[in-house]
Structure formats: structure tokens, C-alpha cells
Amino acid sequence: MICRLALCFVLFGALFVSCSGPETQVATTASRETAFATAPADRPGLGTKWGETRQSRVDLTSFERADRLQPIAEATIYYNDEAGIRAMAGAISWRGEWPLLSAPANVSVALRDQSGRFLPGFTVGNRWFVVGEAGRRYSIVVQNKSDLRLEVVLSVDGLDVLDGRKASLSKRGYIMAPHSKVVVDGFRQSVDAVAAFRFGPVRESYAQQK
């Protein structure tokens, strides 16, 4: 199974925008007993688990979108274990690189593991892929390289990182100052903490449990 992270970038003023809102911030008894004792069949690949609580402080701020219906840029990063990506890619050559959204966004995004190392990113055809490993914690790192104030709306496996519910472009995101970086460590639980992103089996993923 290939899972994905979806990103939507919105600009302050007349150029970038996404959504609106005043403030921003995730048979027989024997057979029945046998069935209960047997773990459900797992699908191959990785998902993202609801991990341990980690401290991550944010504040609320106002942000007005220039366009309430259309973001200036969108990007999707797919992730899986190495075997899964190689099996899907087949004979397609891999190019090591990370997404960089072109002007006027000028935003880059990557995944970083618990040791601070950026996970390898590859282009397969026209898709971006990241190689993950079950049990490892990761963070989403977004860099705003532009002179613009941006809002970035993030989702993991179809779930919004701020409330953990179904993702939508109508929801709010993280506000980024020009030439700044934001590190998102997990699904937000409060203004002070998040539940860490951790790679795990698909059946243990937060999206699957939901």
C-alpha cells in the first residue's frame, strides 16, 4: 500500500490562498474463538500511527486568504518501505530529490526521522516518494523560501494534521513568515502537544483505525 502526505500552500494578500476562517493553528464456538485469536490479515506497506505525545507549542494568529477557493500550489508525497516503492517503480530510474514548488510559492518539503536525518526522497515518473521504516518516528519539514507570508494546510493519509479528521482545503493550517521553516511532529492534540507521526503496519495506522 502506498500512503501519502498532501500539502496545500496559500499566500497572504492577492497571490496565495486556500481556505477561509478567522484563525489558524488533527459459526461455531470453536471457530469464533479461533477468529478472535487470529490477528487480521495485514496489507503490505506502511501507514502512519498515532504515536506518543510530544511537546509542540503553537499560537493562534489571524490570516486572510486572497482566494478562498483556490490554493496557489499543491503537492503530494507518497511513502512506503523501500521494497514496496521498488516493486511499484519497476524499471523506472530513480532520481534523488525533494519537492520544490515553483514561484511564486518557492516552498520545499521533506520528511525527517527521529535522528534528524532527512529521509531519502525519489521521483518515480511524476510522483515524489519517500522511503520509510516501520517503527521510526518522522516529522514534516516545510521551508518557505519566498518573500510572502504563507498558510500551509497539511494532511497525512487523508487526515488533517490539526484535528486528525478528514482533510479538506476548507480547513486552516500553519502560518509561515517569509523565509521561515515549520516542523510538524504529529497530529495536534492541543496548542501544547501533538501525537507523534510513526511509521507502522497499515492495520495499525491512525487512518485505518478511524
Query: Quick one: pLDDT at residue 198?
Result: 95
Mean pLDDT of 109-136: 85
Work out the percent of the chain whose per-residue pLDDT is above 70. 70
What is the model's pTM?
0.77
Query: Quick one: pLDDT at residue 81?
Result: 84
Structural domain boundaries in the chain:
3-26+51-209
Mean pLDDT of 119-140: 84
Encode pLDDT of 50-99 as tens digits.
999 999 999 989 998 888 888 888 888 888 887 777 776 664 555 555 66
User: 100 pLDDT band (50/70/90 cuts)?
Assistant: low
Mean pLDDT of 91-120: 74
Render the chain in DSSP notation, one character per residue: --EEEEEEEEEBTTS------SB-----HHHHHHHHHSPPPPPSSEEEEEEEEEE------B--BS-SS--SEEEEEEEE-HHHHHHHHTTPPPEE---EETTTT-EEEEEEETTSPBPPEEEETTEEEEE--TT-EEEEEEEE-SSS-EEEEEEETTEETTTSSB--TTS--EEE-TT-EEEE-EEE-SSSEEEEEEEEEGGGSHHHH-
